[in-house]
Amino acid sequence: MPNSKSNKPAVTKKVAPKKVAPKKTAVKKIVAKKTVAKKATPKKSWVTQTKAELFNKSDTFCVLPWIHLHTTPTGQAGPCCISTSCADNIGVGNSNRDSLEELVNSPKMKKLRVDMINGVKNAECDNCHRHDEKGVPSARADFNNTWQTLPKIMDIVKATEKDGTVKDFKMKYFDIRFSNICNFKCRTCGSAFSSQWEQEDIKSKEKTGIPFWAEIVPKGNRKAFLDEIVAQVPNFEIAYFAGGEPLITDEHYVLLDYMIKTGNTDIELRYNSNISNFKYKKKDVFKLWNMFTKPIKIYASIDHIGDRAEYIRHGTVWKTIEENFKRIKEERNIKIEVNTVYSIFNAITISHFYKFMIDNHYYTPESGIWTLYCMNAPEHLSVHVLPEDYKAQADQQLDLTISYMTDLGFRENQIDQIKQAKSWLNSKHTWAEQSQEFKEELCRLDDLRGETFEQTFPELQHLYKKPVSLRP
């Protein structure tokens, strides 16, 4: 390489006296200097809390608005399935109208994120705040515990814009309900989540005018929105299918087929299912599940046994449910847990239900946690409706269950579900306000379905007396 520092010409050399070589002038070569790009200074995040402060100590923070969006079967969107937006007929938007990006960064979602970071309790999360205040573990706390180990989760949170915007949203947790297709019409459910309920309500309105709001329920299965969700599949860590009844829903199989086709078979599949049907059209769900590397988790919606089960979850054939439960337990790649709605229907006989499941080895100390969901709505079927003397019986039933499980060596986290129900049972007293609706709705549905509350639940028959307004 030429010496670019010298400005002197090259020295001439004499070769012979008669001949002089011409002078050669050294040409100065200009060497371009390499420009080193300066590293961009990372933008300082306005989120200053540590992971522990947000995930473990905050009473307002929930990780879901950063990794998840929920839509109900009607397309109404919210930050999660128990958020206020899922029940207020408004939502944060609607998948029948809005894109995924518009929903994720809607004004309500952006404000919710800002409030959560700033320690402000947002009305969107009232259900979880109520559980927190009553000492009942909330979904908020459970989700934070589950997702705080996700790699780079704090990078996702800290990248939030100051107005709450999340750019380049990646759905880690899937829970989209595309329609209300269901083969059951459970007493604690309604037309928004059950096509059977929807049809029954419309027929009832035509005959009696009740319920006055009955109508065809819009479905949240717009193709463009489904395509957006399918495109998010590579980001999924957990896919939770619920309904309606997910195992008889077209979109469920569209997603499973795409996961298998693209090799995204390391996603953890979870289901909330009535476990009544495992074949849909030409699909055998067991064959599809065998393509996935992680165990399938099924939360079986079972609220009681025998005729009580068939009354509470209309459409149930108890013998079929019990046989299907046994079959699932025999599968190596499937883990099954019971998910029970704790309501007025099972509160007085809950120990009998648990004893049956335990004695038949459907629930053991080695099983996953049997979730006893402390239902808040519909209010007229909540355990809060029970009069004081009935609550005393319900409390005794929970104590009997705790003692039985303790004697058999069940784990503390399994028994905690029962203990938490004790707190919930006595946290509110609503018989005076809700008794009329309780009686009227029982009467209306018993007449429509050809069922008899007093015969199925003799332990509660004195609560029920047909209201004068509904007598022939």
Encoded tokens for 435: 């008794």
User: What was the pLDDT predicted at 346?
Assistant: 98
User: What was the pLDDT predicted at 212?
Assistant: 87
User: What was the pLDDT predicted at 19?
Assistant: 41
User: What was the pLDDT predicted at 87?
Assistant: 87
Nearest to 167 by CA among 255, 45, 82: 45
Residue pair 234/171 in contact (Cβ under 8 Å)? The answer is no
| pLDDT means over runs of 10, the chain (472 residues) | 38 39 44 50 85 96 98 96 91 96 98 97 95 88 96 96 97 96 96 94 91 88 96 98 95 98 98 96 95 97 98 98 97 96 98 98 97 93 96 98 98 96 94 95 94 96 68 42
Cis amide prior to 22 (ω within 30 degrees): no
CB atoms within 10 A of CB 1: 5
User: What was the pLDDT predicted at 182?
Assistant: 97
110-148 burial: b if 16+ Cβ within 10 Å, else e: bbbbbbbbeeeebebbebbbbbbebebebbbbebbeebe
User: What was the pLDDT predicted at 37?
Assistant: 52
